[in-house]
Amino acid sequence: MIVVLKPQAQKEEIREVVNELKAIGMDVQVNEGVECTVLGVLGNTYEVDADSLTLHPFVERVMRVSEPFKKANRKFHPDNTVVDVCGTKIGGDQLSVIAGPCSVESEAQIVQIAKEVKASGASFLRGGAFKPRTSPYSFQGMEFEGLELLKEAKAETGLPIVTEIMSPKHVERFDRDVDVIQVGARNMQNFDLLKELGHSKKPILLKRGLSSTIEEWLMSAEYIMAGGNPNVILCERGIRTFETYTRNTLDISAIPAVKRLSHLPIVVDPSHATGMNWMVTPLAIAAIAAGADGIMVEVHNDPKNAKCDGAQSITPAEFDVVMKQLRSSAEIAGRTL
Mean of pLDDT values over 298-320: 92
- Domain annotation covers residue 205: yes
Do 50 and 134 lie in a common domain?
no
Per-residue pLDDT, 133: 66
Do 7 and 124 lie in a common domain?
no
- Domain annotation covers residue 117: yes
Which position has the higher pLDDT, 97 or 138?
A: 97
Mean of pLDDT values over 159-176: 95
CA 181, 182, 187: angle at the middle one, nearest 5? 125
Name the domain boundary from 35, 63, 91.
63
CATH number at residue 27: 3.30.70.1140
Which position has the higher pLDDT, 334 or 196?
A: 196
- Domain annotation covers residue 68: no
pTM (2 d.p.): 0.88
Per-residue pLDDT, 140: 67
Do 93 and 56 lie in a common domain?
no
Do 167 and 294 lie in a common domain?
yes
Per-residue pLDDT, 86: 92
Do 23 and 140 lie in a common domain?
no
Q: How many CB atoms lie within 10 A of CB 2?
A: 20
pLDDT digits (tens, 9 = 90+) for 21-60: 999 999 898 988 777 889 989 888 878 888 888 888 999 9
Do 287 and 164 lie in a common domain?
yes
Q: Is residue 160 left, alpha or beta, with left meaning phi > 0 and alpha meaning psi from -120 to 50?
A: beta
Per-residue pLDDT, 137: 60
Do 58 and 160 lie in a common domain?
no
Domain of residue 190: give its range: 83-332
| pLDDT tier at 223, thresholds 50, 70, 90 | very high
pLDDT at 206 over 90: yes
> E strand or H helix at 52, and its extent?
helix 50-53
Percent of the chain with pLDDT over 90: 72
- Domain annotation covers residue 260: yes
Count structural domains, the chain. 2
Q: Which of 315, 325, 317 is nearest to 295 (CA)?
A: 325
- Domain annotation covers residue 290: yes
